[in-house]
Structure 1
Amino acid sequence: METFLEFIIILLITGAVVGFSTGLLGVGGGFLMVPIQFFLLQSTGISPDMAIRIAFGTSLAVILPTAISGSYRHYCNKCVLLKPAIYMGITGFSGGFIGGYIASITPANILTFIFSILLFFVAYQILKYQKVPGGKTKNLNPYHLLFWGFLAGVCSGLLGIGGGVILVPVMLILLGFSMLEAVGTSTVVILLTSVGGILSYIYQGLNIPNLPPYSAGYVNLLQFLLLSIFSIPLAYLGSYYAHKIPEKQLRYLFAVILIFIALKLSGLFELIGIPL
């Protein structure tokens, strides 16, 4: 009973942090939900391969309503470029479905390794980014938007993330968006990329034996509920504070969170004896 209570409390706290980070940084929160669910599920005796897929699928399910909450506030504050968001979201949806299929046939150790390398790379790009004085011309070429949307969608489905860890740096560094524009637009794109991934994980997980109770394919409805309770209102709160924090501090915070999770997933903390 005590272990189950701890399970519930950890997921509730995770959902709260995820919601706030979604609104604040324009990321889906999968970078936090995936490893925490992965480790919790393994602690209950579920195999790593099944645990990582449930973590991915359930994370995407939580990302959807959370992103809706955060994107509404960003849209009201005129930080969403709707046309680019639609272009990227269209291909992001199909990319999410394809990524979910790839994840369903890929071993857990490969997926966690890919995830940690991706987070290190994105954090590096964010830290070295230098804003061009006087602004930067936006690149709104539809073909470029479609390409990056598809890539973010594949990563979303493959790794159980909303796609924001790809989209925010791309929009910031390559497409000329401001940090707030990148964050706001990313939350809208996440809506469509996550839908594609969710459908894929549900479909690929149908008729799989020994899934935990309350599972719809690789989406666990109990974990979805616990993670969503606080994530949705706190996404709205996070988007409010995104407009209060200087852009440079937002980027540094984003990078630090990514590096921490990457180190955890790579197993480096365990290797050097740090119990995190």
Structure 2
Amino acid sequence: MLQNENIYLFLLMLPIVSFLYSSVGHGGASGYLALMALFSFSPEIMKPTALLLNLFVAGISFYYYYKGGYFNKKLFLSFAITSIPLAFLGGTIEIDASVYKKILAVLLVFAILKMLNVFGKENGSVKQVKLWQGLFVGGIIGFFSGLIGIGGGIILTPLILLLHWGNMKEAAAVSALFIWVNSAAGLIGQLSSGVHLEIETFVLVAVALIGGVLGAYLGSKKINNQSLRYILAFVLVIASVKLFFT
């Protein structure tokens, strides 16, 4: 992994991605996957690496948002009950590399739209999520989280805001823990099916945590750096196009 000819540029961009994602309560898997796609990492490396990075960065994000008093336990449980087992199931399934790239390319669109604030803006009114809605949404997102190697927050957060199930900070706190449990379940599923983590992956964890800690702290204290989000959205667009046509 660290033998990539552009590894130093990758390591420079990695904490920037983790900073931006953790600032909104996300682990950043879609961003890490996009970066790894740009630097031509193989899907076999991309999936477990992204989930491991998610565990650390989303965990830090959740800590700061929970500490700030934004966590809605009931809202979280309505999604997590079905997402955890289905994320594990998705993690055990190995799909063709070309199919994997196409699915990831489509899912990156959610990340792009989120970074551009096209959807998922906060609304003053909050509605109670119905149990069947939470179970259905959590299950679908959980399965694809394990299958592709993401935590699912990039999809869950906009849905919470679009359907008025919570405010911005609540969505960030719930999504952070949602990402963590899905990443853990998906990674366990992958490991149980014979996938191995390279020791070099933990170097990436250390680098990502630099941006993750700072982003989570500042994000829970109100920060909005739109210029950096535009740059990240541009990177995600390039990665999505590359994935779709390779």
TM-score range (shorter-chain normalised) is 0.7 to 0.9
Q: Which residue of 181, 200, 218 corresponds with 1:222?
A: 200
The answer to whether the 8 Å contact 1:60/1:162 transfers is yes
Q: Which residue of 207, 224, 239 corresponds with 2:216?
A: 239
SS in 2 for 1:267: helix
1:66 matched residue in structure 2: 57
Indicate the RMSD between aligned Cα atoms, in angstroms. 3.0
Deviation at 1:34, TM superposition (A): 1.6
1:261 is aligned to 2:236: yes
- Residues 104-155 of structure 1: CA deviation (Å, up to 9, x unaligned): 1x211211111122222564475045654xx122232222222222222112
Aligned residue type for 2:72 = L
Normalised by the size of structure 2, how large is the TM-score?
Answer: 0.83
Q: Structure 1 pair 172/253, CA: closer, same or farther in 2 (3 Å)?
A: farther
Question: Within 5 Å, which residues of 2 pair with 1:197-208?
Answer: 197-204=186-193, 206=194
The answer to whether the 8 Å contact 2:51/2:183 transfers is yes
The answer to whether the 8 Å contact 2:30/2:111 transfers is no
The answer to whether the 8 Å contact 1:88/1:149 transfers is yes
Q: Structure 1 pair 145/60, CA: closer, same or farther in 2 (3 Å)?
A: same
For the residues of structure 1 that align with 2:243 and 2:38, how far apart are their CA atoms?
15
Q: Greater Rg, structure 1 or structure 2?
A: 1
How many matched pairs?
A: 242
What is the percentage of aligned positions where both structures have the same residue?
26
Question: Within 5 Å, which residues of 2 pair with 1:80-95?
Answer: 80-95=71-86
Q: Structure 1 pair 130/153, CA: closer, same or farther in 2 (3 Å)?
A: closer
Question: Within 5 Å, which residues of 2 pair with 1:1-276?
Answer: 4=3, 9-40=8-39, 42=41, 51-102=42-93, 104=94, 106-121=95-110, 123-124=112-113, 126-129=117-120, 131-132=122-123, 135-204=124-193, 206=194, 217-223=195-201, 225-242=202-219, 243-245=221-223, 257-258=232-233, 260-267=235-242
SS in 1 for 2:156: helix
For the residues of structure 2 that align with 1:26 and 1:158, how far apart are their CA atoms?
22
For the residues of structure 2 that align with 1:151 and 1:145, how far apart are their CA atoms?
10
SS in 1 for 2:69: coil
Q: Runs of 5+ in structure 1 lacking a partner?
A: 43-50, 207-216, 272-276
Aligned residue type for 1:160 = G
Aligned residue type for 2:189 = S
Normalised by the size of structure 1, how large is the TM-score?
Answer: 0.75
Q: Structure 1 pair 38/259, CA: closer, same or farther in 2 (3 Å)?
A: closer
Deviation at 1:14, TM superposition (A): 4.4
- Higher mean displacement: 54-63 or 143-152: 143-152
The answer to whether the 8 Å contact 1:61/1:194 transfers is yes
